[in-house]
Amino acid sequence: MTKSVLITGGGRGIGFGIAEKLAEAGFNIAICDVLPEAETVPKINQMVSCYGAAALYCPCDVTDSVARENMLNRIISRFGSLDVLVNNAGVAPKARTDITEMTEESYDRVMNINLKGPFFLTQLVARHMLEQQKNNPDFTGCIINIGSISATVASISRGEYCLSKAGIGMMTSLWAVRLAETGIPVYEIRPGIIKTDMTALVKDKYDKLISDGLVPQKRWGYPEDIAKAAAMLARGDLAYSTGQVIQVDGGMTIARL
């Protein structure tokens, strides 16, 4: 039976790159996003037609508990089960401000989308996976969280983002421990500086920093770099490594003199 994967924030950027790579690997694809269907569905259909995979677009705000449940029900109705969850949906602050000026509104928005929503979606999907195991002892699932180097690299102009990604790190550990005995691994991928819509506004800044040696490999990362790591995990290539954090950052977080 063909396995299915749900990728949140999958309509563009890193999420869409992961969707493409997993479609190529033979997964059925469910994409969750808040982008208009007219903009997203044709792009998804074009992608899956190249690989023969089935696809489903689920407009969903991950912070909405009812929307999360409806989305999972749609996926199960379409594909029979959900085998892999990729928590990728995330936002940056609308405005970069010093932490002395950060507003509660900005903090709540970023934390709700980047951490609270993914945590409770993982809870919902984990319950489904455990039920699947009861009905089918051969069922194997996998959960992949897309974090960020900002989990450990402080950026005082977007503290709420850093806090949310540090939370994703602990969320990964918590679910990895909880699900370890079931054989359902949980991982985290921490991207570095990736060329996407989110980083477009700071392109010139990072072009210079990369040129000046911030990243040892001296280039931007691309969604495909993250997608290759996600495909490896979704296939089960690191099944005995639950809880691991995979840095995909060009060596940026290596301690150097």
Q: Which of 51, 57, 107, 161 is catalytic?
A: 161
- Which phi and psi angles does 60 have, rounded to 5°? -160, 135
Please say if 240 is a catalytic residue. no
Residue pair 159/102 in contact by the 8 Å Cβ criterion: yes
Tokens of 179: 């699900």
Rounded CA-CA distance 197/33 in Å is 15
- List active site positions: 161
